[in-house]
Structure 1
Amino acid sequence: MANAIETVQPIPVVGHIEKKALSWSNIALGAAIQTFEVSTLGQPFEVVKTHMAANRGDSIATALKRTYARGGISGFYQGLIPWAWIEASTKGGVLLFTSSEVDYRARVAGFSSSWAGLFGGVAGGVAQAYTTMGFCTFMKTVEVTRHKSPDASASTWRIAYDVFQREGIRGLNRGVSAVALRQMTNWGSRFGISRVTESIFRGKDKTRKLSTSERLASSAIGGALACWNQPIEVIRVEMQSQTKAADRPEKLNLVSTARYIYQKNGFLGFYRGVTPRIGLSVYLTVCMVFGGDSVKEYFNKSKKSAQNANA
């Protein structure tokens, strides 16, 4: 126990800790990377993952067939416009801004880069959930699961309006507690595991600059291993799902939803959709951690070069 406690204690600060440059251009960069991610492979992974989490008896093959049957290739992009774009264009900037600030404060306080990355990821994930992700995630899930509902032919805007009329802002943010829990564990794990993997690659030379392949591998490993929290994601989807069932509780919270899933599908029900989610997580983490670090480094070098030229 003593050793476990000692591992989380701040370590002595050696040398000057440079704060990662962050400006409006960095926030815009986060939004651009996230929008690129969701507009390419991100949304198809999201749709299949959500379908399997909501329809827990379907295999990956069945989910792919049913998704294609709903609208061909465009069926894999349900909820992309406007909800995924709104979410992506805001949450990427929120994540990079919050995580960078908390990461710096943690390192100044004496924590290692791995712990600072974990703290930054947790803070960034929570900030995402309670700013824009709550209602955007809810509406994306509605788009994927409402094909079995009586309102399947209504426009996405009409659905959002009707929910707002009935339940107000709280209704549009249904399941936000699960979203917050998922996001804080998501990004805490992704950043934390990625930084630990980077430290392993560096070995004894903690100042060595990692190669492109090492940084890419660190991001991919962080993304894949972060999927340990799939039960939270399945609970989130069920809370926001429009799929109707006679025995489904009318008002769901984290505890009642978990109980319902276990009664219907057992322990394995909490891991439905984990395979496409691993694909999504690896792709997203590579874009945000590896891609974000690479592009920020490029802009920072360009900025320093311009300043030196004008000196």
Structure 2
Amino acid sequence: MDGVPDIEYEGLSPNAGLGINMMAGALAGITEHAVMFPVDSIKTRMQVFATSPAAVYTGIGNAFSRISSTEGMRALWRGVSSVIMGAGPAHAVHFGAYEAVKELTGGNVEGNRNAWLATSVAGAAATIASDALMNPFDVIKQRMQVHQSEFRSALVCARTVYQNEGLSAFYVSYPTTLMMTVPFTAVQFTVYEQLKSLLNPSGSYSPATHMIAGGLSGGVAGAVTTPLDVAKTILQTRGSSSDPEIRNVRGMVDAFRIIWQRDGMKGFGRGLTPRVLTFMPSNALCWLSYEFFKAAIRDSS
């Protein structure tokens, strides 16, 4: 294509350098989250145990129609500023840590039979680091996404939550987040690397391969970890709930108990469809962006 430099993808080192990986990860993360944010907003609304019938949504189509008609389309984007502020740094740390740990554990060594283990360990390590940075931004995002949220500014939301609930409010869900995202990331990276090798054995630059492998790996990982995501949403939005029991929830065990008591087994699947629909295209876009930016930045340096 005119104006676009040819990328010598085959000539790139598997580990293109920490700075390049971090910059590529930041750009990919912002792209991923911004594009799929409205579907993520619907997922959050579906996972919240609402006391008002007006805030109960039965599906994606129902939620989209009701939110857009009663609150306007802008409501689906409420909280995106928090994600953009947090996603860049968090994804930079995420991909930087992933590539560094994968290199350290031998994941880039050609013919290594334990490469799958190296990618799993690298994915888990990357998540622990990035979630510590991203968790407060995710709390702010979900507080702004809920039905009739009082917040229109991420900074105002952060200040209000801190004043009313303290610093712990931003990290009450962190253990649950790690229990969800460590296996999510391990599954995602492992499936992605395996599919990439299967679909593109030559290792040549292949956007279609990155999109297919990224989308399928994200969908699988998203579906498997949905129950933990429901619990995380309850913990992160507890301060916005009018339900005394939910406002006093202390951790993952409390959240699981409430889900089971109120909705049974099906409660653990709340938001499953929008979660999978979010992660399939967003992960496809994220990996496509990451691989492209990594190659483009490496090529221009």
Stretch deviating more after TM superposition (119-128 or 178-187): 178-187
* Identical aligned residues as a percent: 18
Distance apart, 1:115 and its partner CA: 2.5
How many Å apart are 1:69 and its aligned residue? 4.1
Match in the other structure for 2:225: 229
SS of the residue corresponding to residue 107 of structure 1 reads: coil
In structure 2, the residue matched to 1:269 is 267
| Aligned position for 1:306 | none
Select between 242-251 and 285-294 the one with higher mean Cα deviation.
242-251
Cα–Cα, structure 1 residues 120 and 70, in superposed 2: closer, same or farther, change >3 Å? Answer: farther
Secondary structure (helix, strand or coil) at the match of 1:248 reads helix
Q: Which among 191, 194, 202 is matched to residue 193 of structure 1? A: 191
Cα pair distance change 1:86/1:208, threshold 3 Å? closer
CA-CA distance at 1:178 after TM superposition: 1.6
Counterpart of 1:142?
143
Change (3 A) 1:153 1:50: closer
The residue correspondences of 1:73-112 to structure 2 (distance < 5 A) are 73-81=73-81, 83-107=82-106, 112=114
Q: In 1, are the aligned partners of 2:19 and 2:96 still within 8 Å (CA)?
A: no
Structure-to-structure mapping, 1:48-197, within 5 angstroms? 48-55=42-49, 58-60=57-59, 61-69=61-69, 71-81=71-81, 83-107=82-106, 112-131=114-133, 133-145=134-146, 147=148, 152=150, 156-197=154-195
**C-alpha distance in structure 1 between counterparts of 2:220 and 2:25, whole Å:** 22
Q: Distance in 2 between matches of 1:235 and 1:269?
A: 10
Are residues 155 and 90 of structure 1, via their aligned partners in 2, closer, same or farther at CA, if it must alter by over 3 Å?
A: closer
Which stretches of structure 1, 4 residues or more, deviate above 4 A after TM superposition? 108-111, 153-156
TM-score (norm 1): 0.80
Aligned residue in 1 for 2:7: none
Q: Distance in 1 between matches of 2:213 and 2:267?
A: 29
What runs of 5+ residues in structure 2 fail to find an aligned partner? 1-12, 51-55
- The alpha-carbon deviation at position 285 of structure 1 amounts to 1.5
Q: In 1, Cα distance between the equivalents of 2:206 and 2:79?
A: 37
Larger Cα Rg: Structure 1 or Structure 2? Answer: 1
Task: For residue 270 of structure 1, report the CA deviation from its aligned partner.
Answer: 0.8
Deviations 1:239-270 (Å, cap 9, x if unpaired)?
Answer: 11223224436132011110110110111111
**SS of aligned partner of 2:182:** helix
Equivalent residues, number: 278
Which range is displaced more, 46-55 or 66-75? 66-75
Amino acid at match of 1:106: T
Q: Please give the secondary structure, in 1, of the residue aligned with 2:242.
A: coil
CA positional deviation for 1:137 = 0.8
User: How far apart are 1:297 and its partner, in Å?
Assistant: 2.3
Give CA-to-partner distance per residue, 1:58-77, whole Å, 9 cap, x none. 22233213332453221111
> Which is bigger in relative contact order (C-alpha 8 A, separation at least 6)?
2
Does structure 1 conserve the Cα–Cα contact (< 8 Å) formed by 2:144 and 2:152?
A: no
Contact 2:197 2:203 in 1 (8 A): no
Partner of residue 213, structure 1: 208
Q: Extract unaligned runs of 5+ from structure 1.
A: 1-17, 304-311
